[in-house]
């Protein structure tokens, strides 16, 4: 998730910062290698290869979730469990990244996503919209967000 989030959310934000402002911020970063990676990200487009790899892994996860589910059930049976709690952020971030189309063709999993994202506990844990990074660039155009 980190790779896709960086490519679709954080890279555009970094690229929009003036170079000197970014350089000033990154001088305080505790990891010089990560700071350098952020600086390099400021000048480029999303890494299509890295994003493709992330999407492939997401596809495998979606298929595993779908295979684990029975219609109307939760991941490990009739009761909502820690397995569902652990997977809720995955479903939520796919939606935020405009990648919720990965669930297309998996109707049982789509129903699970709808139910999990509608749970009061999941809704309460989400960052308010005004505190969420916006989806930028081609991803926003593709999803209409």
Q: Tell me the per-residue pLDDT of 13-69, one tens digit each, with 9 for 90 and over.
A: 888 889 898 888 888 899 999 888 888 888 778 889 999 999 999 999 999 999 999
Q: Name the 3-class secondary structure at 72.
A: coil
Is 119 domain-assigned? Answer: yes
Cα gap 8→115, rounded to integer Å: 26
Instruction: State the first-to-last Cα distance of the chain, in angstroms, to the nearest integer.
Output: 19
Q: Could you say which DSSP state residue 119 is in?
A: S
Is residue 65 in a domain? yes
Please check whether residue 35 lies inside any domain of the structure.
Answer: no
**DSSP character for 133?**
P
Q: Is residue 81 a part of any domain in this protein?
A: yes
Total structural domains within the chain: 1
Task: Classify residue 45: in a domain, yes or no.
Answer: no
How much is the pLDDT for 136?
66
Q: Would residue 141 count as lying in a domain?
A: no
Of the candidates 42, 9, 2, 6, the one whose C-alpha atom is nearest the C-alpha of residue 139 is 9
**What pLDDT, on the 0 to 100 scale, is given for residue 38?**
83
Residue 23 inside a domain? The answer is no
Classify the C-alpha dihedral 68-71-77-82 as positive or negative: positive
Q: What pLDDT band is residue 109 in, cutting at 50, 70 and 90?
A: very high
What residues pair up with 77 in beta bridges, in sequence order?
Answer: 74
Identify the domain containing residue 90 by its residue range: 50-134
With bands split at pLDDT 50, 70 and 90, how would you rate the model's confidence at 137? low
* Domain-embedded: residue 127: yes
The Cα 44–Cα 82 span in angstroms is 39
DSSP conformation class of 54? H
């Amino acid at each position: 998730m980190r790779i896709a989030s960086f490519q679709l959310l954080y890279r555009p934000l970094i690229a929009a910062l003036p170079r000197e402002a970014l350089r000033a911020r990154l001088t305080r970063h505790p990891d010089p290698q990560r700071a350098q990676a952020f600086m390099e990200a400021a000048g480029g487009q999303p890494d299509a290869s890295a994003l493709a790899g992330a999407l492939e892994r997401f596809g495998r996860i979606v298929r595993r979730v779908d295979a684990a589910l029975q219609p109307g059930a939760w991941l490990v049976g009739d009761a909502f469990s820690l397995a569902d709690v652990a997977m809720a952020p995955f479903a939520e971030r796919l939606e935020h990244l405009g990648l919720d189309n990965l669930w297309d063709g998996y109707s049982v999993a789509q129903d699970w996503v709808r139910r999990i994202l509608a749970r009061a506990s999941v809704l309460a844990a989400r960052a308010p919209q005004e505190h969420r990074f916006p989806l930028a660039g081609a991803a926003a155009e593709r999803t209409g967000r």
